Amino acid sequence: MKFGWQLFAGIAIFYGVTTAVYALWAEEVVGIVALILSTCLAALIAFYFWFTNRRLGATLPEDNLEGEIADRAGEQGFFSPHSWWPLTVALFATITGLGLILGWWMTLIGAAALMISIMGWSMQYERN
């Protein structure tokens, strides 16, 4: 993680300098906005890595030059083996995106169904 935040901080600085130079020479607004957003994205990732590294406080296995693959072994999380919710989220996200092209009414229907399917996916194992 230590190398990760330094890498993305360097990328953010590079994008920042590039944005400043491009803003002085270019007349186009779209490129300037794209470079500003790229700078902000790299800075956001660098901040996340820095914050995570500071919170953990220890050397992670991937930062150890003498580390082995088995050092990072263990439980990585819980993944549902048979959930249909990702399919419904993808379907309604597609409908919402198509609604932006085809009509506002389809966007409203897709967005409402998308919210319901996201709630279903995140609460599929919550039982009372």
**What does pTM read for this prediction?**
0.56
- What the block records as the tokens of 111 is 């967005």
The domain limits of the chain are: 2-61, 85-122
What is the DSSP code string of 47-86? HHHHHHHHHH-S--GGG-TT--GGGG-S------SS--HH
Its sign, for the CA torsion 66, 9, 32, 26, is negative
User: pLDDT per residue over 4-16, tens digit each?
Assistant: 889 999 999 999 9
User: pLDDT per residue over 101-114, tens digit each?
Assistant: 999 999 999 999 99
Mean pLDDT of the chain: 89
Contact 32, 22 (CB under 8 A): yes
Residue 1 has pLDDT above 90, yes or no: no
How far is residue 65's CA from residue 85's CA, in Å, rounded to a whole number? 40
Its sign, for the CA torsion 68, 72, 74, 77, is negative
How far is residue 4's CA from residue 6's CA, in Å, rounded to a whole number? 5
The reported pLDDT for the residue numbered 56 is 75
Read off the pLDDT band of 66 (50, 70, 90): confident
Number of residues that make up the chain: 128
Number of neighbouring beta carbons within 10 Å of residue 87: 11
What mean pLDDT do residues 40-61 have? 86
How far is residue 15's CA from residue 38's CA, in Å, rounded to a whole number? 7
User: pLDDT per residue over 67-103, tens digit each?
Assistant: 787 877 777 777 778 889 999 999 999 999 999 999 9
